[in-house]
Amino acid sequence: MTKWVVDQAHSSVGFEVKHMMVSKVKGQFEAYTADVEAADLTDLTTASIAFKFDVASINTRNEDRDNHLKSADFFDVEKFPTIDFVSKSITKDGADFKVTGDLTIKEVTKEVTFNVEFGGKGTNPWGVEVYGFEAEAKINREEFNLTWNAALETGGVLVGKDVKIKVELEVNPATA
């Protein structure tokens, strides 16, 4: 098994959720770690994947909203500083993959499946192999005790239940 390093300058971990039932708020976690091991990344079924997102690094391009998301109303970063994902199984789905694992938010663990598209592989100008992937999953935030909301005068709620998690990765082999 080869260890792979995420190139954070060419990767992102983001999310989007409905706002006021009419638009979307998008954000990302600026700090995260990943442990990726695989015999062959062109066949992701050989991989073992673990992610840890630093919740305090959340960035929605609005400081007030970010501070609210860090508070006890949402992620409660003082008590729960990370979101964790550990793969349990990876299957081929046509040209793509399904990565199923345990997602833990605020001490609640649920099985989640990411649909993963292999973007390809190449060699960078320094002679290093580079592999690209895009992954997406949808969760119900309320199942992870992220239940804060506000009713709107016009009906509906301020924050949608469904959250899309979007991960774009560029990885290369770890150097000894």
In degrees and rounded to multiples of 5, residue 56 shows phi and psi of -65, -15
Q: How far apart are CA 97 and CA 91, in angstroms?
A: 6
Q: What is the spatial distance between Cα 114 and Cα 122, in angstroms, rounded to a whole number?
A: 23
**175: which residues sit within 8 A by CB, 6+ positions away?**
none
pLDDT in tens, the chain (176 residues): 889 999 989 999 999 988 877 789 999 999 999 999 998 888 899 999 999 999 999 999 999 999 999 999 999 999 999 999 999 999 998 889 999 999 999 999 999 999 999 999 999 888 888 999 999 999 999 999 988 877 878 877 778 899 999 999 999 987 74
d(CA 24, CA 103): 23
Is residue 10 classed as helix, strand or coil in its secondary structure? Answer: helix
pLDDT at 96: 93
What is the model's pLDDT at position 153?
A: 81
Q: What is the DSSP code string of 28-85?
A: EES-EEEEEEES-TTSGGG-EEEEEEEGGGEE-S-HHHHHHHHSTTTT-TTT--EEEE
Q: Residue 20 has what DSSP assignment?
A: T
Per-residue confidence (pLDDT) for residue 176, from 0 to 100: 46
User: What local confidence, expressed as pLDDT, does residue 157 receive?
Assistant: 72
- Residue 64 is predicted with a pLDDT of 95
